[in-house]
Amino acid sequence: MVPFLRVGPPPDRTRWEGWQQWREIRETFVPAPRLSLREYSGMSPRRRALHDLHRTATHVNMRLQETPMSRRVSDLMRGRLQNNAVKFMPGTRDGLMINGGGFQGKTETACSAAAAFEDLWRAVHHQLLPDQAPLAGTRDVFVPVAYCRLPVKATPKALCKTILDVYGDPHPNTLDDLIRSVRDAVRDHNTTALLIDDVTRLRLHRGDDQDTLDLIRELMDLNVTLVLIGVDIPHSGLLRGAYIDPHTRQWVFPDVKRGKSHNDGASTQTERRFDMVDLDPFDYSTPTGITAFLEHLAGIEEQLRLFHSCEGMLTTGGMPEYLFRRTHGIVGLLRRLVEDGCTEAITSGEERLTPELLARTSIRLGNLADLDPEAGEVPEIPLNVKPPQQPRKKAGRRPRNTVFDDQGDRPAADG
């Protein structure tokens, strides 16, 4: 078996089994070995083709690098999940909203933080509660983290079915039964964190979307930490009716008082509180921001497997500023540009990234069928960005005309 080739479709994190598969393999990819051009040339044509494929796989599976922005999100999220997980008292748990633009790494940052928490939580349970481990051959009912995406056209029923699909549970027919099944599933599977992605797909001028938002807020009553991920949450309308507590600086949502998803116990519930954390792009206007961007580029450079690459290929000269102008500092666009640039460098034989090569490399975002442009999930791609001009070589000085120079006394002619 070739170690860098995937067998079958990629893991579906919106299903319990797929999430576990992704969690276990997320840091196991082995990059291509570093070979010299001489070693590569000595290979057979078949081995060279296989190595080129391994290099391509390395470039499109670069590890997720931590940035100052993602570190802030991860630290807050891991702390919130751990704090809420060890609370004994019933009641609502403070939630978390992760806000940012499209392709800025919100989903990967949140999923990585949730997976790290689950690694810890499973280890603790295995050590302290070994008798509660599932029996061999039976289904594991312990699902600490559930991840789902809000449907493009959201309704309370559609959201309930999406959550039940995570566990592989059946869908009852009525809304009341669906909500009851969701509550039972979250409790029975001991779910501690529920991540709902693409939450800003809600259009609150529609009654169904308002009812769906009410249902989302009610899910906080399940002793579960609710993590909402979306694009431009402050301007999406999701915070309508909410206010910032001057003491805690948290967003406070009043109790649900309307909507088809309203339940009888809503009037006795406490207010729902969320912290909002922003995942911003890189900033190139301050020394600190420039340093962070250069460190990120150095981390990318270290992972590349191009034969003519060199230290400083992405971090010196006009390259950093050019890469920033091509991507506006958005991590996802930068990653896609480098991936496609490496493919062009291997195909053309240039084997290094230059502004000129990247200038003829378009940023293609791939399949956007599962993204909603109206919700801001597809970022604007900068166009017609010219590469930096190479400094002109100084013309050599013209030699001085020495025709009229005094050459000194000439020897007398022979007599």
**134 occurs within a structural domain:** yes
Q: Residue 386: pLDDT band by 50, 70, 90 thresholds?
A: confident
Query: Does residue 18 have a pLDDT over 80?
Result: yes
Q: Residue 400: pLDDT band by 50, 70, 90 thresholds?
A: low
Quick one: 302 and 270 in the same domain?
no
Average pLDDT value for residue range 321-328: 95
Quick one: 271 and 288 in the same domain?
no
Average pLDDT value for residue range 140-167: 92
What is the pLDDT, as a whole number, of residue 17? Answer: 94
Closest by alpha carbon to 253, among 231, 211, 220, 291?
220
Q: Record the pTM.
A: 0.84
Q: In CATH, what number is assigned to the domain containing residue 109?
A: 3.40.50.300
Q: Which of 213, 245, 279 is the last residue of a domain?
A: 279
Q: Residue 271: pLDDT band by 50, 70, 90 thresholds?
A: confident
What is the pLDDT, as a whole number, of residue 256? Answer: 59
What is the pLDDT, as a whole number, of residue 106? Answer: 95
Quick one: 270 and 295 in the same domain?
no
What is the pLDDT, as a whole number, of residue 243? Answer: 87
Which stretch of 112-121, 127-136, 231-240 has the lowest confidence by average pLDDT? 127-136
Query: Does residue 274 have a pLDDT over 70?
Result: yes
HSE of 49 in the Cβ direction (CA atoms, 13 Å)?
Answer: 3
Query: Does residue 248 have a pLDDT over 50?
Result: yes
Residues in the chain: 415
Task: For the chain, give the percent of residues with pLDDT over 70.
Answer: 84
Range of the domain at 218: 69-279
The CA distance from 220 to 226, in Å, is 6
C-alpha dist (Å) from residue 29 to 6, 24, 285, 373, 406: 10, 11, 35, 32, 76
Quick one: 253 and 315 in the same domain?
no
Query: Does residue 171 have a pLDDT over 50?
Result: yes
42-56, 123-137, 251-265: which is most confident: 42-56
Q: Which of 224, 247, 279 is the last residue of a domain?
A: 279
More confident residue, 212 or 3: 212
The CA distance from 222 to 204, in Å, is 24
Query: Does residue 414 have a pLDDT over 50?
Result: no
- If DSSP codes are grouped into helix, strand and coil, which group holds residue 96? strand
End-to-end Cα spacing for the chain:
97
What is the pLDDT, as a whole number, of residue 149? Answer: 95
Query: Does residue 391 have a pLDDT over 70?
Result: no
Please list the residues that pair with 369 across neighbouring strands. Answer: none
**240 occurs within a structural domain:** yes
Q: Residue 372: pLDDT band by 50, 70, 90 thresholds?
A: low
Closest by alpha carbon to 107, among 229, 224, 236?
229
User: Are 144 and 117 in contact, with CB atoms under 8 Å apart?
Assistant: yes
In the chain, the number of structural domains is: 2
What are 344-364's pLDDT values in tens digits? 999 999 999 999 999 999 988
Quick one: 287 and 156 in the same domain?
no
Mean pLDDT across the chain? 86
Quick one: 335 and 254 in the same domain?
no
Quick one: 335 and 188 in the same domain?
no
Average pLDDT value for residue range 162-176: 95
Quick one: 325 and 237 in the same domain?
no
Average pLDDT value for residue range 42-67: 95
Quick one: 103 and 238 in the same domain?
yes
**41 occurs within a structural domain:** no
What is the pLDDT, as a whole number, of residue 380? Answer: 79
What is the pLDDT, as a whole number, of residue 261? Answer: 45
**202 occurs within a structural domain:** yes
Query: Does residue 150 have a pLDDT over 50?
Result: yes
